[in-house]
Amino acid sequence: MTRFSDRKGPISLGMVGGGTDAFIGAVHRIAARMDNRYRLVAGALSSTPDRSLASGRALGLPEDRIYPDFEAMAAAEAARPDGIEAVAIVTPNHMHLPPAQAFLAQGIHVICDKPLTGTLPDARALAKAAAQSGALFVLTHNYTGYPMMRAAKAMVAAGRLGALRLVQMEYAQDWLADAAEEKGSKQAEWRTDPARSGAGGAIGDIGTHAFNLMGFVTGLSIEELSADLHRFVEGRRLDDNAQISLRLTGGARGAIWASQVATGCLNGLRMRVYGTLGALEWEQEAPEVLWFSQPGGQRQRLVRGTAAAIAAGETSSRVPAGHPEGYLEGFATIYTEAADAIVAHRSGQHTETLLPTVEDGLAGVAFVDACVRSSAANAAWTRLD
């Protein structure tokens, strides 16, 4: 019997971080709400108790479940018969490990924002904590929730691309093209601060998404990489541009370009995979479309929700083809599948899912670590073990 074996209906959810100023906290809340599988009932929404209180009230949380800090929250919620069954951790990177350990130790499931942690030792500690806990751990690499990314993964797995040769990943933004961290942007402040972000800047913030998505779709791992990290904005303390060459398992080659100074780019996550029999191309800003090319100029435009896409392996649509789903829907799919796993867990069942795991998160932090080491060695080839 598990801790929550008598629970029924929507999952009681708590949140750590995600106060008024935050961007990603609101996203997590909408994602949790989309399919009606969670109720947000508790929170330690800010490291500043006053702000936590104000934010909790603004969200309509009961007064007695607005906590000044995550430790208090973990203890109190674990003690309540109606305590939270899961917690969303949406703090800056350096503050993922402590609350995750606290809640996992109480058997409360953790849904954690990416990257897993700011440092590799933290990541290892968290992986260990998750392994030792009976509770679930889900990392919100939300782009894996896009239906066409599931189609892409299924097509690769089914051999539609043949042997993979090349992977070109890129993630280009421009919101750090100038020194936003000195102009009052909270988002920019912590993301360019090694103490809160870890040793990776752009490579940690968005490069990990690209890395994760590449592995999700292709199943390939990096054998060694050569990374050239760079800071274009004067005074910045972390990289804002990264160019990485990859040698992948099975003899494939690849590259990841991650940049936050690419003027005119918004959220340009893009994947291209080339195999002997076919190729896939996808752009996050038009996420409903997956291009499938075959030799001889055969080029298909697969759209979410069509019979053709479903046959290719697409899943998770909420509305018919041509009614565009977007970022929030993909994010919500992660939450909803986590809900399925949590419900199964109530009765002691383990379900196979596509959800990003703590091991995926550890791999991501190891990737950042290898990039930083490679770059420090003038882009020397560096193995990932």
What values do phi and psi take at 31, rounded to 5? -60, -40
For residue 84, state whether it binds its own copies (rule: CB under 8 A): no
For residue 335, state whether it binds its own copies (rule: CB under 8 A): no
- In the three-class reduction of DSSP (H, G, I as helix; E, B as strand; rest coil), residue 170 is classed as strand
* Binding span for its own copies by CB under 8 A among 45-53, 106-114, 116-124, 264-272: 264-272
For residue 318, state whether it binds its own copies (rule: CB under 8 A): yes
Residues 27-66 that bind its own copies (CB under 8 A): 27, 29-30, 33-36, 60
Core vs surface per residue 322-340: b (16+ CB within 10 A) or e: eeebebebbbbbbbbbbbe
Of residues 26 and 154, the one with the C-beta less far from its own copies: 26
The footprint of its own copies on this chain (CB under 8 A) covers a number of residues equal to 86
Of residues 122 and 325, the one with the C-beta less far from its own copies: 325
For residue 347, state whether it binds its own copies (rule: CB under 8 A): no
Residues 49 and 72: beta-carbon distance below 8 Å? no
For residue 216, state whether it binds its own copies (rule: CB under 8 A): no
Least distance from C-beta 297 to its own copies, angstroms?
A: 2
For residue 319, state whether it binds its own copies (rule: CB under 8 A): yes
For residue 1, state whether it binds its own copies (rule: CB under 8 A): no
- In the three-class reduction of DSSP (H, G, I as helix; E, B as strand; rest coil), residue 376 is classed as helix
For residue 264, state whether it binds its own copies (rule: CB under 8 A): yes
Q: Which helix (H) or strand (E) holds 86?
A: strand 86-89
What are the structure tokens assigned to 58, written together?
Answer: 């603004």
CA distance linking residue 65 with residue 13, whole number of Å: 11
For residue 235, state whether it binds its own copies (rule: CB under 8 A): no
* Binding span for its own copies by CB under 8 A among 88-96, 148-156, 198-206, 238-246: 238-246
CB-facing half-sphere around the CA of 39: CA atoms within 13 A:
14
Question: Which residues lie across from 291 on neighbouring strands?
Answer: 281, 301
Label each residue of 191-252 as H, E or C. HCCHHHHCCCCHHHHHHHHHHHHHHHHHCCCEEEEEEEEECCCCCCCCCCEEEEEEEEHHHC
Least distance from C-beta 121 to its own copies, angstroms?
A: 30
Least distance from C-beta 188 to its own copies, angstroms?
A: 13
Q: What is the DSSP letter of 285?
A: T
Residues 164-183 that bind its own copies (CB under 8 A): 165-166, 168, 173-175, 177-178
For residue 300, state whether it binds its own copies (rule: CB under 8 A): yes
Residue with tokens 């998505």: 213
For residue 376, state whether it binds its own copies (rule: CB under 8 A): no
CA distance linking residue 313 with residue 156, whole number of Å: 10
For residue 232, state whether it binds its own copies (rule: CB under 8 A): yes
For residue 344, state whether it binds its own copies (rule: CB under 8 A): no
For residue 267, state whether it binds its own copies (rule: CB under 8 A): yes
Residues 289 and 302: beta-carbon distance below 8 Å? yes
Give me the 148-167 binding string for its own copies, x by CB under 8 A, dash otherwise: -------------x---xx-
* Binding span for its own copies by CB under 8 A among 63-71, 195-203, 242-250, 336-344: 242-250
Q: Which of 20, 47, 243, 357 binds its own copies (CB under 8 A)?
A: 243
